[in-house]
Amino acid sequence: MVVTDRAPVHAGADARSDRIAIIGGGASGVLTALQLLSTSTDSALRVTVHEATGVLGRGIAYCTSDPRHLLNVRARHMSAYADVPSDLLDWARRAGRDPDPLGFLPRMEYSAYLQDTLADVADHRLTISAGRVDDVVPVGDGFELRTRDRVATADTVVLAYGNQAPQPLVVDGADLGALPGYLPNPWDLGAIRALPDDADVVVVGTSLTAIDTVITLLADSPHRRAVMVSRHGLLPHAHIEQQSTAWVSKVPAGPLTADGIAAFVRSQVGAARSHGVDWRNVVDGLRPATQSIWARLDLDERRRFLATYVRDWEVRRHRMAPEVADRIAGYRQDGRLNVADGGLAGVDLDRADAVVNCTGPLTDISRTDDPLLQALQRRGLVAPDPLRLGLDSTPSGQVVGADGVPVPGLYAVGPPRKGTLWESTAIPEIRTQAAEVARLVLGRTAPATV
């Protein structure tokens, strides 16, 4: 498919800027590479995807090896290309599957889809570089990308590093990292499967990642038990059979507040119910407007939303596939799974055989131990967004440096842009970002016209 670890191609003195580095080979990085390669027919273009593992298309979201871990978005909405909505379904049919457009495919199959889709457009212009990029250094009009054993050059860099690992768990000032049986990485299925067949496990978190962890934990052994715990004790709601009646909400004009938006959503849910339409249709109908709503909230109102409404929104926005919800309900009915609120204060950790950290990705880059993000911050190339949800960026994807000015040639795609866009972690939004950034990047590489 591609050449791995090929030496960087250096443009001649009269050549234009055409070397593009993408840091991160998960969904965000692959979708960006797809857009660059499928949009441009320029044979001089060079795209290098730097992925620590050397394997593309996986990342945190799709690295699972458990086929019971399902996507939480229907198959018909998961195409890599917004203008070819049937692409994923067509791929599944070519692979001998009979996909349900309204169904939920295994996450591991989506990884294979991304890999195959990239292979379809890959040619001499694409290089995969295995190894972790630890530093990016501005040099002239471009950048040097430094790993432990080599230096590569690029004119443009796209940060597509995805989600960070969960932040450490601390209880009463004590780091739980020293606790026997503590598992800091919920995606390490080998460690979870290696637990005793009769283990009692505390799963810290009640999000979709925690749901997947519980499925692997309990489905592999009928004698295991688990407690899921979070401050609120709220699980994601389940998808239901999709209703044919769509619900489009007209967002009020003028200044917006968090309280006002919450009241508006409640009113829309009530209006929909009076017409026999489920609340899920209201939430899904608001999705195209979510980024514009976020942009219309000032900083204080965004903070108000995060402090008061965020969990109630997220358990409705990010839902479980029906099959997943049925599994979780069955475990609870059998008494093998309990869900608790109040955080870790109400859980007896001394009786647990293991504690799994499913608190969600660390978003405050000022607290990260990632060498690349630490280096980028020291150089002033990136800075946390004001809400510490990712890195500071413009709505179009340019990275904003510590001086508050966009950094020429430096872009971001995916979860790092959550603070700017809010809706920035799901495939439909990431593929749109990838297309927009590819357009901007290719505009930089276009030859000058006379």
User: What's the total number of domains in the chain?
Assistant: 3
For residues 17 and 105, membership in a common domain is answered with yes
In-domain check, residue 268? yes
The CA-atom distances, in angstroms, between 20 and each of 65, 126, 158 are 31, 10, 8
DSSP secondary structure letter of residue 325? H
For residues 373 and 328, membership in a common domain is answered with no
End-to-end CA distance of the chain: 37
3-state secondary structure 173-240: CEEHHHCCCEECCCCCHHHHHCCCCCCEEEEECCCHHHHHHHHHHHHCCCCCEEEEECCCCCCCCECC
For residues 77 and 207, membership in a common domain is answered with no
For residues 219 and 179, membership in a common domain is answered with yes
For residues 39 and 131, membership in a common domain is answered with yes
**CATH number for the domain that contains residue 424:** 3.50.50.60
For residues 114 and 79, membership in a common domain is answered with yes
Report d(CA 429, CA 393) in Å as an integer.
16
In-domain check, residue 253? no
Q: Ramachandran region of residue 429, left (φ > 0), alpha (ψ -120 to 50) or beta?
A: alpha
State the residue range of the domain holding 216.
Answer: 170-237+319-357
For residues 200 and 174, membership in a common domain is answered with yes
For residues 213 and 324, membership in a common domain is answered with yes
Report d(CA 252, CA 260) in Å as an integer.
9
pLDDT 10s digit of each residue in the chain, 450 long?
A: 443 443 333 333 333 357 999 999 999 999 999 999 999 999 999 999 999 999 999 988 899 999 999 999 999 999 999 999 999 999 999 999 889 999 999 999 999 999 999 999 999 999 999 999 999 999 999 999 999 989 999 999 999 999 999 988 887 777 777 788 999 999 999 999 999 999 999 999 999 999 999 999 999 999 999 999 999 999 999 999 877 788 999 999 989 999 999 999 999 999 999 999 999 999 999 999 999 999 999 999 999 999 999 999 999 999 999 999 999 999 999 999 999 999 888 788 888 999 999 999 999 999 999 999 999 999 999 999 999 999 999 999 999 999 999 999 999 999 999 999 999 999 999 999 999 999 999 987 654 443
For residues 309 and 329, membership in a common domain is answered with no
For residues 79 and 215, membership in a common domain is answered with no
In-domain check, residue 242? no
In-domain check, residue 49? yes
DSSP secondary structure letter of residue 85? T
DSSP secondary structure letter of residue 320? B
Q: Which helix (H) or strand (E) element contains residue 262?
A: helix 258-274
311 CB-near residues (< 8 Å, 6+ apart) = 232, 234
**Helix/strand/coil for 111:** helix
For residues 227 and 144, membership in a common domain is answered with no
Query: Which token pair is 348?
Result: 């007896």
For residues 308 and 339, membership in a common domain is answered with no
